[in-house]
Amino acid sequence: MDYFRPESLEEALGLLAEIPDARCLAGGQTLVAMMNTRIVAPPRLVSLRDIPGLDQIEALPNGGLRMGTMVTHETLMNLSANGAHRLLPETARQIASPAIRAFGTVGGALCHADPAADWPTALVALDASVHVAGIDGKRREPLAEFLVDALTTTLEPGEILTHIEIPPPGQTSAGAYVKFARVEGDFATVAVAVSLSLSGPTCEAIRIAVGGCSPVPTRDDAAETGLVSTELSEADMQAVGNSLATAIQPEDDGRASAAYRRMVVPGLVQRAITLAHDRASEARI
Ligand SMILES: Cc1cc2nc3c(=O)[nH]c(=O)nc-3n(C[C@H](O)[C@H](O)[C@H](O)COP(=O)(O)OP(=O)(O)OC[C@H]3O[C@@H](n4cnc5c(N)ncnc54)[C@H](O)[C@@H]3O)c2cc1C
């Protein structure tokens, strides 16, 4: 195996294009573990560490955020953010342990696309999109389309996820990330991310993503639309929780049974919406 630390995106793309099955190395927290256990044996590793700008977070003129793929969980944990963007530090705090948060990256987590990982769920709730570069050009796509299946994205061999972009938060907005795991720092058994904005006491917009229960985060467009222009009553929240519990495609695994997950989802959805609603209401006062 050979190992390179290119200093530009173009150089990295060239190195990846030279050898089939060459892989990007981000934080190495998953890839190195997979190599140690012989699950994968890439003939070439191309580190993204020295490519300028990939570890930066930039506030966009419209209030959105653009972050490089190499931004670590630790950096996001310490991010000072507004409104619904506070979902970012809240999610980062719940990932793994300090050592893994120091090296693991948001882009690595999205590219690995583990159904139980935290960033896919939180960033789908924030309506994030991803920027991908390949030897033949660049493209941008919604994160929800980038995540195709468990451990599968739209990335073609040799492509690099470069940035993640998050739209501006609504004026009176808030988010909440509620994770249910066997022990602190474990992957999610079930997680719910909510991003909402209020107009007076009523819900102006809301996105709810459920993680850990399907190959990719689950949303229910119709249920979300049903919450818009309501005051998010307990009955409304229960209805949307029940609807999401039906929409997920859980399986039995070492963390929980499918039936258990379906049982947990409604309560977690209600808790996450309530938290986000209370936070947005406080911001309004
Ligand atoms: C013990 C342990 C506990 C964990 N707990 C949690 C948890 O609670 N929640 C959670 O969400 N995660 C958890 N993780 C995962 C971890 O937080 C990282 O997110 C994950 O390891 C991937 O990030 P990375 O930067 O280490 O990527 P790497 O391991 O470097 O790469 C992962 C994969 O993505 C590819 N890749 C990486 N970056 C790019 C890119 N920019 N473009 C194209 N391909 C790319 C690599 O080639 C590789 O295939 C845990 C990991 C461990 C080891």
Nearest CA to ligand 1 atom 5: 96
User: Best substitution site from 16, 112, 114, 153 to test ligand 1's pocket, by max atoms within 8 Å of Cβ?
Assistant: 112
Tokens in use for 266?
A: 């409604």
DSSP 85: G
pLDDT for the residue 283: 79
* pLDDT tens track for 229-272: 999 999 999 999 999 999 999 999 999 999 999 999 999 999 99
Residue with tokens 């309560």: 267
User: Best substitution site from 24, 30, 161 to test ligand 1's pocket, by max atoms within 8 Å of Cβ?
Assistant: 30
Q: Is 118 helix (H, G, I), strand (E, B) or coil?
A: helix
pLDDT exceeds 80 at position 226: yes
DSSP bridge partners of 209: 193
- What residue ranges line ligand 1, CB within 6 angstroms? 23-31, 33, 48, 69, 73, 95-96, 100, 104-105, 107-109, 111-112, 117-119, 155, 160-161, 185-187
In the chain, % of residues over pLDDT 70: 99
* pLDDT tens track for 172-221: 999 999 999 999 989 999 999 999 999 999 999 999 999 999 999 999 99
278 CA to middle of ligand 1, Å?
32
The identity of residue 120, as a single letter, is P
pLDDT for the residue 72: 98
105 CA to middle of ligand 1, Å?
6
- CB distance 248 to 262 below 8 Å: yes
102 CA to middle of ligand 1, Å?
12
User: Best substitution site from 111, 146, 154, 164 to test ligand 1's pocket, by max atoms within 8 Å of Cβ?
Assistant: 111
Domains and CATH numbers, the chain: 173-284 (3.30.390.50)
The CA distance from 279 to 174, in Å, is 6
Radius of gyration of the chain (CA): 19
53 CA to middle of ligand 1, Å?
19
Among the atoms of ligand 1, which is closest to the Cα of residue 101? 17
pLDDT exceeds 60 at position 141: yes
pLDDT exceeds 60 at position 285: no
pLDDT for the residue 259: 98
Q: pLDDT-derived band of residue 284, with 50, 70 and 90 as boundaries?
A: low
* pLDDT tens track for 22-76: 999 999 999 999 999 999 999 999 999 999 999 999 999 999 999 999 999 999 9
Among the atoms of ligand 1, which is closest to the Cα of residue 29? 26
Nearest CA to ligand 1 atom 36: 108
Mean pLDDT of 4-13: 98
The CA distance from 206 to 125, in Å, is 9
171 CA to middle of ligand 1, Å?
33
